Chain A
Amino acid sequence: MAYQFDFAPVLAQADLLLKGALFTLQLTVVGTVLGLAIGVLGAVVRAWRLQPFSAVFGVYVELIRNTPFLVQLFFIFFGLPALGVRLSEWEAAVLAMVINLGAYSTEIIRAGIMAIPKGQLEAAAALAMSRFEAFRHVILQPALAKVWPALSSQIVIVMLGSAVCSQIATEELSFAANFIQSRNFRAFETYLLTTLLYLLMAIGVRQLLAWLGQRWLMGRR
């Protein structure tokens, strides 16, 4: 007997899926903004070798990049309460995403800063730019522009990785999918539609980041 596909019971719950997708996007936005902030801070500290912070960030980057996101999430959600730090599902999810993206973007942005020729700073000083102006316009912006494609890929990877947050009951897209398939027993159809939704989101976020990069970093309006 051939399997009869039936998408109707899944489509009947489309509002749940869309709500989950929206929450995944919200987690991604917060995770991206805070994660990139850590990344910029870490990259500056690492690139200029500001000890002892440089060493601390070095250890942080290696620890995070060499362990799975899921384990980081479990450690935060199940492990930290032992130290008296009790986070809600979505707080743990955001914290894990921020810590994860922070580590990767530290390395990516550092590479961008290292690629800025020394003469650029000297030129900025010759133009009587303040240190902050020079940092902002001569170091940070060109560095981010150089590594923006790599950063964008990493942001998409973090968004897709957030699917495992359903395991601590964060009510994002994959949580909605688990919920729906547990009620209508149409597991394959549910996960197929959810997978396609993730694919659309990945493509959309990639496009949006490319547009933002053009506008803010490459100065094309």
Chain B
Amino acid sequence: MDFTLWDIVRNLLTGLQWTLLLSLVAFVCGGVAGLLLLLARISENPYLRGLARGYIELFQGTPLLMQLFMVFFGIALFGIDVSAWMAAAIALTLFTSAFLAEIWRGCVESIGRGQWEASGSLALSRLEQLRYVILPQAMRIAIAPTVGFSVQVVKGTAVTSIIGFTELTKTGGMLANATFEPFLTYGLVAVGYFILCYPLSLSARYLERRLHGPA
């Protein structure tokens, strides 16, 4: 069977959709989990804080590939048949939550102590302080690095091809084998990721400049 250039591109676009979907799921779920993790990381309970710290250290200090294998084979231990898609979504969510929690912790800690003291003196509870005083200010600082990190999430999805999830890289691999055109195919795969990531990188840089430039 002969492949035209359009056949290759068409198949890669299908793979690209899965890459995009997985990135979105991982980023949204990772964001929610990351927020909970952030609350634990800055809580007043030392055990909760230590637990969150250990979690972040574990996910920042090990390869994403190993995390993927751990989830893939770990869930199977409970006798649950886990699909590559589920394992990929869960592992990337855990990975994303650890990095986002750490980025956001930096933003929360950059808010002056005076803000905590002032809001505390207004008899706000800790959650209220966070909700009405600290997080709204921290969020402004957090937007640029968060958008910047989304690039890492999109790129991270490539690793899920290894456990057999048919996203962009896996599709590229299969096409390279079928067409004997690895140079062209992997080149196009790289272009696909670039098209997804470059706008995100540019917006992160733009947001960063707007935040630090003259108001």
Quick one: which of B64, B76, B151, B190 contacts A75, CB cutoff 8 A?
A: B190
0/1 per residue, A173-193, Cβ < 8 Å to B?
010010000000001100110
Quick one: which of B162, B193, B201 contacts A167, CB cutoff 8 A?
A: B162
0/1 per residue, B149-174, Cβ < 8 Å to A?
00100011111011000000100110
Q: Is B77 an interface residue (CB 8 A)?
A: yes
Q: Give every chain A residue within 8 A of B162 (Cβ-Cβ).
A: 70, 164, 167
A65-B201, A78-B176, A199-B58 given as contacts; is B161 within 8 A of A70 (CB)? yes
Asked whether, in the complex, the Cβ of B201 is within 8 Å of the Cβ of A66, the reply is yes
Asked whether, in the complex, the Cβ of B65 is within 8 Å of the Cβ of A174, the reply is yes
Query: What total count of A-B pairs have CB within 8 Å?
Result: 121
Given the complex of chains A and B, what is the CA–CA distance between A194 and B63 in angstroms?
10
Given the complex of chains A and B, what is the CA–CA distance between A203 and B60 in angstroms?
10
Q: Is B213 an interface residue (CB 8 A)?
A: no
- From B57, B73, B181, B201, residue with most partner A Cβ within 10 Å: B73
Chain A residue nearest to B190 (CB atoms) is: A67
Chain A residue nearest to B197 (CB atoms) is: A66
Q: Is A18 an interface residue (CB 8 A)?
A: no
Given the complex of chains A and B, what is the CA–CA distance between A209 and B57 in angstroms?
17
B109 to chain A, nearest CB (A): 16
Asked whether, in the complex, the Cβ of A69 is within 8 Å of the Cβ of B169, the reply is no
Q: Is B69 an interface residue (CB 8 A)?
A: yes
Given the complex of chains A and B, what is the CA–CA distance between A178 and B18 in angstroms?
26
A68-B169, A174-B63 given as contacts; is B70 within 8 A of A188 (CB)? yes
B180 to chain A, nearest CB (A): 9
Given the complex of chains A and B, what is the CA–CA distance between A67 and B169 in angstroms?
11
Q: Give every chain B residue within 8 A of A199 (Cβ-Cβ).
A: 57-58, 61-62
- From A69, A74, A187, A192, residue with most partner B Cβ within 10 Å: A74
Asked whether, in the complex, the Cβ of B183 is within 8 Å of the Cβ of A83, the reply is yes
A66-B198, A70-B158, A79-B183 given as contacts; is B65 within 8 A of A163 (CB)? yes
Q: How many residues of A contact B (CB 8 A)?
A: 39
Q: Is A161 an interface residue (CB 8 A)?
A: yes
Given the complex of chains A and B, what is the CA–CA distance between A78 and B189 in angstroms?
13
Q: Is B194 an interface residue (CB 8 A)?
A: yes
Quick one: which of B63, B77, B158 contacts A71, CB cutoff 8 A?
A: B158
Q: Is A3 an interface residue (CB 8 A)?
A: yes
Q: How many residues of B contact A (CB 8 A)?
A: 42
A70-B169, A195-B67 given as contacts; is B61 within 8 A of A82 (CB)? no
A215 to chain B, nearest CB (A): 23
Q: Is A72 an interface residue (CB 8 A)?
A: yes
Q: Is B86 an interface residue (CB 8 A)?
A: no
Q: Is A212 an interface residue (CB 8 A)?
A: no
B211 to chain A, nearest CB (A): 16
Given the complex of chains A and B, what is the CA–CA distance between A160 and B63 in angstroms?
5
A94 to chain B, nearest CB (A): 17
Q: Beyond the given A191-B69, A202-B62, could you list 5 further A-B residue pairs with CB under 8 A, ordered by the A residue number?
A: A65-B197, A80-B183, A174-B63, A191-B73, A198-B62
Would you give 29 A-B contacts (Cβ < 8 Å), ordered by A?
A63-B194, A65-B151, A65-B201, A67-B155, A67-B194, A67-B197, A68-B156, A68-B193, A71-B190, A71-B193, A75-B183, A75-B190, A78-B176, A78-B182, A79-B183, A79-B185, A83-B183, A156-B61, A160-B63, A161-B63, A161-B64, A162-B63, A174-B65, A177-B69, A191-B66, A194-B66, A195-B70, A198-B61, A198-B62
5 closest pairs, A vs B, by CB?
A68-B158, A163-B63, A82-B183, A66-B197, A202-B61
Q: Which residues in B have some Cβ–Cβ distance to A below 8 Å? A: 57-58, 60-67, 69-70, 73-74, 76-78, 151, 155-159, 161-162, 169, 172-173, 176, 181-183, 185-187, 189-190, 193-194, 197-198, 201
Q: Which residues in A have some Cβ–Cβ distance to B below 8 Å? A: 3, 62-63, 65-72, 74-75, 78-83, 156, 160-164, 166-167, 174, 177, 187-188, 191-192, 194-195, 198-199, 202-203
